[in-house]
């Protein structure tokens, strides 16, 4: 039987968080707040990363399967990327005008992504999805957005509505992933007013199972969207370059009108993009305004060029897919062997575990199981998150993934000993 590991030493992390709360309201760290993990058990401040690992301020070393919430597709501290970034810094990187590397980067994306006839680089995933929506509105002269999945923190899509006018919220409606009738119902309810349908081609709702598209689903979404005169947007911020070099649209064979990419394109450097059909993207020439002081920056561009070069040269997406397939199979085996009330979900590069609530469980034991499980995994040096799916990175070694699976099995054994499942 597995044994409990002692609590990690986190004195420096916890002290720094107290300082952070003095400096920012609640110590603002976005979704990296302690209560999104297991408070008192997880590190809060890190010093560095290498390959598939991160190290905190107290010196604890972890196998990182969260990958900075997705940007790290290769690994931390990639020498080839470091080299080109340093060379660009020596020449300067923030100017009033763009540098030639911009054209090279855009052409690279056009060569890789099926829907890409034109490209606009921006900075964050939320920038990209919001720009795509603005383009769709400009192209159709309609206002309503139908969304499915998480698409960022801007007013039109934010999950927490404080500070957002009701009038803005009223222009966005949600449909259920995998249910074509749900989309049809929403399109009919807003008939003639829908500018776009934006969807994550792989469903990854907060704290819920990750879903690969059912056969024929994305094709039906596209057909129905176009039938109603709306623009189809694939939000590929997470699936881009992981599902395939050309994104989920390439893997599943369905080409949208517009698509957004980010996170993995530069292995952590802040760049995202909107790619799509020339006819639609062209509204940005005069009709739709796009701007940022930092659009001309080139550090991110050279990082993205080198990252995408490595992705193609090393066949990274396929290798991650193969490794993730084995990892998912082992997860399934662990859950089956232990008869745990846990569901394995995801696609190979994006695995996840969700904890099932039994009918009539007034004590919500599944939450206690979840917290205890993640307490034990972090103590074993496995960095994952209870409410966000995980990622397989290229630099995760076979040893890393074996250790991760061992930590998961042992933690689940302990969880079931403490909170037995009814057979």
HEC states along the chain?
Answer: CCCCCCCCCCHHHHHHHHHHHHHCHHHCCHHHCHHHCCCCCCCCCEEEEEECEEEECCCCEEEECCHHHCCCCCCECCHHHHHHHHHHHCCCCCCCCCCCHHHHHHHHHHHHCCCCCEEEEECCHHHHHHHHHHHHHHHHCCCEEEEECCCCCCCCCCCCCCCCCHHHHCCEEECCCCCHHHHHHHHHHCCCCEEEEEECCCECCCCCCCECCCCCHHHHHHHHHHHCCCEEEEECCCCECCCECCCHHHHHCCCCCEEEECHHHHCCCCCEEEEECHHHHHHHHCCCCCCCCCCCCCHHHHHHHHHHHHHHHCCHHHHHHHHHHHHHHHHHHHHHHHCCCEEEEEECCEEEEEECCCCCCCCCHHHHHHHHHHHHHHHCCEECCCCCCCCCCCCCCHHHHHHHHHHHHHHHHHHHHHCCCCC
pLDDT at 293: 87
pLDDT at 356: 85
pLDDT at 58: 98
pLDDT at 205: 84
The answer to whether the beta carbons of residues 125 and 152 sit under 8 Å apart is yes
Structure tokens at 40: 């008192």
| Digit-coded pLDDT (tens) for 164-209 | 999 999 999 999 999 999 999 999 999 999 999 999 999 988 778 9
Tell me the pTM: 0.96
- As a whole number of Å, the CA-based R_g of the chain is 22
pLDDT at 32: 86
pLDDT at 136: 98
At residue 174, what are phi and psi to the nearest 5 degrees?
A: -115, 145
Structural domains of the chain sorted by starting position, each given as residue range(s) with its CATH number in brackets: 11-76+316-418 (3.90.1150.10), 79-313 (3.40.640.10)
pLDDT below 50 — which residues of the chain? none
pLDDT at 423: 60
Residues 6+ away with beta carbon under 8 Å from 363 = none
pLDDT at 2: 84
pLDDT at 258: 98
**Alpha-carbon span 140 to 280, nearest angstrom:** 9
């Amino acid at each position: 039987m597995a044994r409990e590991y002692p609590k990690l030493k986190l004195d420096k992390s916890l002290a720094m968080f107290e300082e952070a709360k003095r400096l920012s309201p609640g110590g603002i760290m976005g979704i990296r707040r302690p209560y999104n993990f297991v408070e008192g058990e997880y590190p809060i401040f890190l010093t560095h990363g290498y390959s598939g690992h991160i190290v905190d301020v107290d010196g604890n070393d972890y196998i990182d399967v969260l990958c900075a919430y997705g940007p790290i597709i290769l690994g931390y501290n990639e020498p080839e990327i470091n080299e080109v970034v340093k060379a660009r810094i020596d020449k300067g990187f923030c100017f009033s005008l763009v540098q030639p590397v911009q054209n090279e980067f855009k052409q690279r994306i056009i060569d890789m992504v099926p829907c890409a006839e034109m490209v606009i680089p921006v900075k964050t995933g939320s920038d990209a999805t919001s720009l795509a929506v603005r383009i769709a509105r400009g192209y159709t002269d309609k206002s309503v957005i139908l969304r499915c999945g998480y698409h960022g923190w801007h007013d039109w899509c934010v999950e927490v509505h404080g500070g957002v006018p009701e009038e803005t919220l009223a222009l966005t409606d949600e449909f259920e992933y995998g249910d074509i009738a749900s989309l049809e119902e929403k399109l009919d309810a807003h008939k003639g007013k829908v500018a776009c349908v934006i969807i994550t081609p792989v469903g990854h709702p907060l704290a819920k199972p990750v879903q690969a598209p059912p056969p024929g689903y994305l094709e039906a979404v596209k057909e129905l969207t176009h039938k109603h005169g709306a623009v189809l947007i694939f939000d590929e911020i997470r699936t881009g370059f992981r599902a395939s070099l050309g994104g989920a649209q390439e893997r599943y064979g369905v080409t949208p009108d517009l698509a957004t990419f980010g996170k993995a394109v530069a292995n952590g450097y802040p760049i995202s993009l909107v790619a799509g059909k020339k006819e639609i993207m062209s509204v940005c020439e005069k009709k739709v305004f796009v701007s940022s002081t930092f659009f001309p920056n080139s550090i991110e561009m050279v990082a993205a060029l080198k990252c995408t070069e490595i992705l193609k040269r090393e066949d990274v997406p396929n290798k991650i897919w193969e490794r993730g397939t084995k990892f998912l199979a082992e997860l399934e085996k662990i859950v089956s062997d232990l008869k745990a009330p846990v569901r394995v979900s995801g696609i190979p590069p994006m695995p996840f575990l969700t904890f099932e609530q039994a009918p009539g469980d007034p004590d919500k034991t599944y939450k206690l199981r979840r917290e205890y499980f993640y307490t034990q995994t972090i103590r074993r040096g496995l960095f994952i998150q209870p409410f966000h799916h995980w990622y397989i990175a290229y630099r995760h070694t076979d040893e890393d993934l074996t250790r991760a699976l061992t930590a998961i099995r042992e933690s689940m054994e302990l969880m079931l000993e403490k909170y037995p499942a009814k057979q």
